[in-house]
A and B are shown apart, each in its own frame.
Chain A
């Protein structure tokens, strides 16, 4: 069984009198433990695809099965529950809560999952040490470097043990060295069996993945396994 199964997905937006076809009849399957990069220039529909994969949005037509559950017709609250349980988001701009410290930011998904305080704290500490930030748990986002902020965000994505880690331009706001560290972290997570989907327009980021899906004008232009996969360490040299 596929972890993700998109069948003839279309997404249209109404902009005044004009209808924009962001995705046209896209079908795609992703299996558990895959590391997939979704690539495409801006306006190609890759953000729309990411929003659909992340259950932030629903398709205009077509069927989306996540983990065997049809999520394409769920309402706002049901989607919130799916996002909480199945998906860990990593954003380009980190999207941490500015007034909360690292620990609380990582605990947040567990709060909405209804997990008790002690359990929550233990899981958050574990996730933070997994990304190498065990000594920064009481720092607020503005007291952390860009790379550290992204690590907090990754810890927040990991803490619920989701089915998918969905990263949107995760290195877009980082310098190349820090970016490489973050990509190495993703690789490590992938080696531990996590399913990772990275949305990017940078070739060198995509080259870390095992599979690259290219989107153009709302259609899948190509979908291929990466032959010469680059390990992060090698790339940085």
Chain B
């Protein structure tokens, strides 16, 4: 009961004190305002970054299942040897998957090899030659910068056409447009029908910048008669990725004639790898960014501590009176903590009022407006800063000796 009344009294005193020293409190809270503005903007920017990454990931295939003999995550030589002994994934099996899989938006077989590529006297050693179908543009989420992608009849009929990755195109063609010209891949000639948009290094080995895409049928006749296929399956609903994965697994086990109870002799992988990598990067950015902006909040906190020491010093006599008539240490401590927390929360509110229009203006750059989470965190952080920086002055006030405090003029 005492505590409730003491808290009420503390709030009354705090607001009266802040009101009585409007200019001083305002200047003291400026540091907190700046700190919270930067923290809020940083928080909003980080959230925006996360969101745009997740969007980007879904275009490159977080909703795509990758089937192959070798798992992406082979941890030992033994595992590799075991995978090496597995039966290959054949074209017939690919066709069967294409026919049976229900929860797929697109299914593309995928084989690759390395070959040098020539155009007239220009040459690029060792580009990745990918044999696939028209569906690959959906599973891979690629877009064409110039010309067009291959059609279904071209993929099946095996006409010698090709689509170039952006790096290959810039390496081979200086001024001319690649589209319509013929390049040589190993000993074969292919007509360029399109150039892909640059994907960038972000996707690492998954990038198709240094690749030439040719129809699957061409790949089989020109380079490799019975290759080990990989299959890319883009699912209909990313929320039901696991379900689709189970369906795909069932189909593969059936067509590869695996007895019940035996291990899978194939691997289905997802781009979780990207997500976890991004998670690491984003956590680093967030912690470094928040640390730096936190420094400005820290400076603000020191300002509050300073002003609270002044407040305690000039109210020593008041503290003496309160203690003489029965205020315990806790009551005095609470009073000053509430005062510093109030100054900081007012600063936090002011900061949000400033930061909100800024996030609206920078919506494009930040990738979104302020979220309720950020608002809540900002207010909690400012209250916490106030309590933390007010604690030492308040503690000194609470420990004042009433006789000395009353003698203070």
Q: Which residues of A contact B (CB under 8 A)?
A: 51, 54, 56-57, 76-77, 80-81, 83-85, 89, 91, 95-97, 99, 108-109, 111-117, 156, 160
Instruction: Pull 25 A–B residue pairs with CB atoms less than 8 Å apart, ordered by A.
Output: A54-B324, A56-B402, A57-B403, A76-B329, A76-B399, A77-B329, A80-B323, A80-B326, A83-B326, A95-B317, A95-B321, A99-B16, A99-B20, A108-B9, A108-B322, A111-B5, A111-B8, A111-B9, A112-B322, A112-B325, A114-B1, A114-B5, A116-B1, A117-B5, A156-B325
Nearest 10 interchain pairs by C-beta: A84-B326, A114-B2, A112-B326, A114-B1, A109-B325, A80-B328, A77-B328, A95-B321, A56-B402, A112-B327
Determine if B331 is an interface residue (Cβ-Cβ < 8 Å): yes
How far is the CB of B345 from the nearest CB of chain A, in Å? 22
* Interface contact A113-B324, CB-CB below 8 Å: no
Give bound CA distance, A119 to B345, whole Å. 33
Give bound CA distance, A226 to B80, whole Å. 111
Which residues of chain A have C-beta atoms less than 8 A from B399's C-beta?
A: 76
Chain B count of residues within 8 A CB distance of the other chain: 26
Give bound CA distance, A84 to B2, whole Å. 13
- CB < 8 Å: which of B6, B318, B320 contacts A112? B6
- CB < 8 Å: which of A56, A85, A89, A97 contacts B318? A97
Interface centre among A51, A95, A97, A111 (most CB of B within 10 A): A111
Closest chain B residue, CB of each to CB of A96: B321
Give bound CA distance, A109 to B320, whole Å. 13
- CB < 8 Å: which of A108, A112, A116 contacts B328? A112
Give 9 A-B pairs besides A51-B403, A80-B323, A111-B9 with Cβ atoms closer than 8 angstroms.
A56-B403, A76-B328, A80-B328, A80-B329, A108-B9, A109-B326, A112-B2, A113-B326, A115-B5
Give bound CA distance, A112 to B16, whole Å. 19
Give bound CA distance, A160 to B324, whole Å. 13
* Interface contact A80-B327, CB-CB below 8 Å: yes
Give bound CA distance, A201 to B304, whole Å. 45
Closest chain A residue, CB of each to CB of B321: A95
Beyond A108-B322, A111-B9, A114-B2, whether A95 also contacts B406 by CB under 8 A is: yes
Which residues of chain B have C-beta atoms less than 8 A from A84's C-beta?
A: 325-326
Give bound CA distance, A156 to B5, whole Å. 18
Closest chain B residue, CB of each to CB of A52: B403
Interface centre among B325, B327, B406 (most CB of A within 10 A): B325
Interface flags for B1-22 (1: CB within 8 Å of A; 0: not) read: 1100110110000001000100
Closest chain B residue, CB of each to CB of A99: B16
Give bound CA distance, A65 to B9, whole Å. 32
Interface flags for B225-268 (1: CB within 8 Å of A; 0: not) read: 00000000000000000000000000000000000000000000
